[in-house]
């Protein structure tokens, strides 16, 4: 089975909350890397943590990965003991060649996707991932843009181009809507409007290292209860 995207799914061990099956099912056209980060006290070296907890941690991680196997999503696991969770996610995303990182959240269903677009940067990767997500569901998608003076294209042009690319990828026109907003607090607007939707898809706005995702996606994923996929921008 060929896959076009690799999604990193991080869990904080021990006693992690499983990913809702509705989210796992959207990943059937893709592959997943399930990361277990086992947080350790400041004074505990990773080698000591691994000696003490590896067997139980790996068993828990295998259980967390099982729903992906059940859904026929190709999946690998990585177990890391340490203290710096965000740096670990960044590093493993690079090492495992994952172009998308999932921030887990609550989702009873996946009927409506919300996709904020900040400009043409990372445009193709975001829309390619959205098209793959939509191919595994009957969900609709709302493309969103907040106008900015620095925009090279008008908001209408940007969103029209994005919609056209999804149609070219096989998404029915009646599943796509567009929404434009005036200038304002970007992360705040995305969180507020995103609350109306089931899943968010965001584009990484800055280099992956050393800060997770970039400023706006990091704020959004910290403030929303929805699952959020962040599409990395490896060229940065």
DSSP output for 95-109: HTT-SEEEE----S-
CA–CA separation, 117 vs 161, rounded Å?
11
Please, are residues 139 and 172 in contact by the beta-carbon 8 Å criterion? Answer: no
* Residues 128 and 4 sit within 8 Å (Cβ to Cβ): yes
* pLDDT at position 186: 77
Task: Judge if 6-98 and 112-231 fold alike in CATH terms.
Answer: yes
Q: What is the CATH number of domain 112-231?
A: 3.40.50.620
CB atoms within 10 A of CB 143: 25
Task: Read off the tokens for 79.
Answer: 């177990």
Model confidence pLDDT, tens digit, residues 59-80: 999 999 999 999 999 999 999 9
Report residue 105's pLDDT band, with 50, 70 and 90 as the boundaries: confident
Give pLDDT tens digits for 185-220: 778 888 888 889 999 999 886 554 444 455 666 666
SS3 state of residue 20:
coil
**What's the gap between Cα 56 and its chain centre?**
27
Candidates 3.40.30.10, 1.10.10.10, 3.30.300.30, 3.40.50.620; correct CATH number of 6-98? Answer: 3.40.50.620
Distance CA 5, CA 70 (A): 19
């Amino acid at each position: 089975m060929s896959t076009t995207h690799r999604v990193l799914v991080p869990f904080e061990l021990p006693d992690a909350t499983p990913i809702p099956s509705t989210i796992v099912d959207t990943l059937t056209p893709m592959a997943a890397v399930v990361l277990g980060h086992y947080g350790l006290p400041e004074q505990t070296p990773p080698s000591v943590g691994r000696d003490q907890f590896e067997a139980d941690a790996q068993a828990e991680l295998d259980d967390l990965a099982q729903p992906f196997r059940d859904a026929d999503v190709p999946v690998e696991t990585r177990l890391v003991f340490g203290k710096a969770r965000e740096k670990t996610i960044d590093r493993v995303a690079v090492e495992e060649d994952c172009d998308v990182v999932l921030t887990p959240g609550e989702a009873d269903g996946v009927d409506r996707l919300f996709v904020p677009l900040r400009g043409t940067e990372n445009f193709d990767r975001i829309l390619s991932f959205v098209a793959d997500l939509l191919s595994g569901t009957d969900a609709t998608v709302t493309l969103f843009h907040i106008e900015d003076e620095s925009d090279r294209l008008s908001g209408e042009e940007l969103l029209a181009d994005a919609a056209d690319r999804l149609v070219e990828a096989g998404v029915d026109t009646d599943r796509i809507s567009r929404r434009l907003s005036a200038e304002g607090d970007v992360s705040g607007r995305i969180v507020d409007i995103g609350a109306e939707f089931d899943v968010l898809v965001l584009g990484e706005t800055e280099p992956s290292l050393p800060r997770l995702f970039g400023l706006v996606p990091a704020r959004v994923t910290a403030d929303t209860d929805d699952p959020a996929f962040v599409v990395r921008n490896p060229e940065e």
